[in-house]
Amino acid sequence: MEKSAFDTLEALGDYLAKAITREFKPNPKELVAGEEGWQMIISMAKPTAVPFAENPIVEMRVAAVP
């Protein structure tokens, strides 16, 4: 059985936000978030988690702070 580091979508989303901040560099010479500072809105759905709902969804808005 594989061991996952995350039980919750909240934790996975936070990790995803940090990974994007760390690795997504539109212009490597600039600040990672550009002058204005971009923000990520990450929405994750698990269709099979709640059988009688179309989707439970967890959504978060995170600043790309270098």
Partner 1 sequence: MSLRSLWTVRQAAGEPLAVVRVRDLHTAVVGPRDAWGRKHATQPVVISAELHFSRPFEASVAGDNVTAGDTVHYGTLSKLILACVERSNEHVQTRIAAGAGAASGTSGSTEETVDLRVLLEMIWIVLTGRNVNGEDAAPEAKPLLDLARLRFMSLTVTLPKASLLGEGVSLTAANVFPPHLASLSMYGLSLKIHKLRVPTLIGVNANERTAKQFVVTDVEIDRFDYYPDLFCELERIVVKVMFLSSLAILFLFSRTIIIATTV
The token pair at 52 is 């009688």
For partner 1, which residue of 28, 29, 41, 52 counts as binding (CB under 8 A)? 41
Q: Closest distance between partner 1 and the C-beta of residue 58, in Å?
A: 10
CA distance readout (Å), 49 to 1, 7, 11, 54, 57: 19, 13, 16, 9, 10
Is residue 8 at the binding interface for partner 1, with CB under 8 A as the rule? yes
Query: Judged by CB, which is closer to partner 1: 53, or 63?
Result: 63
Is residue 17 at the binding interface for partner 1, with CB under 8 A as the rule? yes
Q: Is the dihedral of CA 26, 32, 35, 36 positive or negative?
A: positive
Positions touching partner 1 (CB under 8 A) are: 1-9, 11-12, 14-20, 23-24, 26-27, 34, 36-49, 55, 60-65
